Amino acid sequence: MDVNAYAAPAAGAPLAPFTVRRREVGPDDILIDIKFAGICHSDIHQAREEWGGAIFPMVPGHEIAGVVTAVGSNVTKFSVGDHAGVGCFVDSCRECDNCKAGLEQYCVGHMVVTYNSTEADKVSPTYGGYSTHIVVDQGYALRIPDGLALDIAAPLLCAGITLYSPLRHWNAGPGTKVGIMGLGGLGHMGVKIAHAMGADVTLISHSPGKEDDARRLGADHFLLSSDKAAMSAARNSMDLIVNTVSADIDLNRPMSLLGLNGTMCIVGLPEKPLSVGAFTLTGQRRSIAGSNIGGIRETQEMLDFCAEHGFGSDVEVIAVQQVNEAWDRVVNSDVRYRFVIDIASLND
Ligand code: NAP
Ligand code: ZN
Ligand code: ZN
């Protein structure tokens, strides 16, 4: 089936209309009529070739929410009419220890990333959610709970799980002091989720204008990273910082906010290697770590958690024709707090 999409034709070129061919619905597949697709900063990094190895034309989009319109003969998890989501991968090797443990995001075989990747055959390119339909194996699709509207649910498929997973792994909760660095798509979900888990939350931002929003979203404290006095006063005070910053910045000052045994978990993926001094680590036995999205089981748990707590993402819905302008605004930290494409506009 040929479907309407938007693609980046080459590195750094503006996105333009494109047609992709979706496979026939196989016995284990579902067909999703995509309603909304979130814009993740990773879409921009890849289409602007900031990470290397990009495949063009590229149809980005890995925050996909829609309605199931067909199911294969073996499908038990979904029925026609259900709300379903797709995140950053649509298949994995299914055989490695990580896949078997439900940690498909750390698959050491071939992980089939939703776009800018190849199918299990390692040849056919994958195309993402800036398109009207997607066919996906039921085991790699998520149920979107009733009570979560599809537009505010879409960003949870990447931004939500990318923050939920490390917050769970490092035991954010009552009695823990958590810093979230950067109030963008990922960061605003981090503030909401860490607050809902019961942690004491500090938003660390380079944007002076974001304090009111940070507090409204659930932050107990706001730290402006350029305020040297406030940064010094907060030294050694945090247990965990989840760093969502997309740009190349020095980590020594924010790392010094961590107390004894504190961890900075990197989720932001800037272009250049990170820089941190050895003294910053040894001084308080601090650690630096990383985390990559989440597995299918944990992503479902996160969606159910958000529905239970009554929140999704704070979104600005746009037509696909506005995507290039929206991408520039994301790069300028001018998004409140996730752009979501209304996929109906692809048929305009
Ligand atoms: P985003 O909406 O652009 O948010 C990034 C935030 O970083 C900005 O809002 C800004 O927050 C801060 N920032 C930007 N430039 C900065 C600078 N020069 N100095 C200091 N802070 C700066 O992006 P996103 O979609 O949340 O994605 C964030 C990063 O995570 C991207 O690199 C993306 O590729 C990566 N990512 C990783 C995973 C994973 O699994 N590990 C998953 C998804 C995305 P303030 O204005 O508050 O400072
Ligand atoms: Zn993403
Ligand atoms: Zn695997």
Atom 35 of ligand 1, nearest CA residue = 268
Q: Tell me the average pLDDT across 90-116.
A: 98
Separation of alpha carbons 85 and 83, rounded Å = 7
> Dihedral of CA 156/157/159/160: which sign?
positive
pLDDT of residue 216: 98
DSSP per-residue codes, 245-279: --S--B-HHHHTTEEEEEEEEE----SSPPB--HH
Query: Model confidence over 236-285: pLDDT tens digits?
Result: 999 999 999 999 999 999 999 999 999 999 999 999 999 999 999 999 99
Residue type (1 letter), 105: Q
Distance 223 CA to ligand 3 centre (A): 40
Distance 60 CA to ligand 2 centre (A): 10
Question: CB within 6 Å of ligand 1 — which residues?
Answer: 40-42, 45, 158-159, 162, 182-187, 205-207, 210, 244-247, 249, 267-269, 291-293, 330, 333, 335
Retrieve residue 335's tokens. Answer: 């998004």
Q: Tell me the average pLDDT across 90-104.
A: 98
For ion ligand 3, residues whose CB falls within 5 Å: 92-93, 96, 99, 107, 109
What does pTM read for this prediction?
0.98
**Relative to the alpha carbon of 109, which ligand is closest?**
3
Question: Of the residues 169, 246, 336, which should be mutated to test ligand 1's pocket, given the most ligand atoms within 8 Å of the CB?
Answer: 246
> CB of 29 within 8 A of CB of 53?
no
**Relative to the alpha carbon of 294, which ligand is closest?**
1
H/E stretch holding 5 reads: strand 2-7
**Relative to the alpha carbon of 203, which ligand is closest?**
1
Distance 41 CA to ligand 1 centre (A): 7
Retrieve residue 133's tokens. Answer: 């339909």
Give φ, ψ of 197 to 5 degrees. -75, -15
Atom 7 of ligand 1, nearest CA residue = 245
Rg from Cα positions in the chain: 20
Q: Is the peptide bond before 337 cis (omega within 30 degrees of 0)?
A: yes
pLDDT of residue 321: 98
Distance 318 CA to ligand 2 centre (A): 18
Question: Of the residues 183, 213, 242, 244, which should be mutated to test ligand 1's pocket, given the most ligand atoms within 8 Å of the CB?
Answer: 244
Retrieve residue 132's tokens. Answer: 């009207």
Identify the DSSP state of 218.
T
Query: Model confidence over 175-221: pLDDT tens digits?
Result: 999 999 999 999 999 999 999 999 999 999 999 999 999 999 999 99
Structural domains in the chain plus CATH codes = 2-157+313-347 (3.90.180.10), 160-290 (3.40.50.720)
pLDDT of residue 164: 99
Separation of alpha carbons 235 and 179, rounded Å = 12
pLDDT of residue 158: 98
Distance 212 CA to ligand 3 centre (A): 43
Number of residues assigned to the chain: 348
> Looking up tokens 């071939």, which residue turns up?
110
For ion ligand 2, residues whose CB falls within 5 Å: 40, 42, 158
Distance 205 CA to ligand 1 centre (A): 11
